[in-house]
Amino acid sequence: MVDCASLSSQVVDDVPPEQEEKDKIYVHQFKKMLNAMASLSGFTIINSPSATEFTVQQAPGTEELKTQLFEKYKDHLDDPATIIKD
């Protein structure tokens, strides 16, 4: 894993491209790396688990509520206005 604090202490001022040395980290390279690292945060939604044991279970009391609502509105189940009640 990259430790940015210790890495940042190794960064040196930019020089013309023809004068760059392979073993040095230049400001423009460091900024490019930081931008790339920051862009990875956008992928966390893709890579995080979306379905866990907790998220796929129905709420407690759902079946009882369903039964109560079917009983309460049994004569109006085909009425669209019934959907927005309760």
Model confidence at 1, in pLDDT bands (50, 70, 90)?
Answer: low
Indicate the pTM of the whole model: 0.43
Q: Which residues pair with 12 in a beta bridge?
A: 26
Give pLDDT, residue 55.
76
Give pLDDT, residue 25.
85
How do residues 19-77 score in pLDDT, each as one tens digit? 888 888 888 988 998 888 888 877 777 666 677 777 788 889 999 999 999 999 888 88
Using CA atoms, how far apart are residues 15 and 26, in angstroms rounded to an integer? 8
Using CA atoms, how far apart are residues 76 and 80, in angstroms rounded to an integer? 9
Q: Which residue has the higher pLDDT, 30 or 6?
A: 30
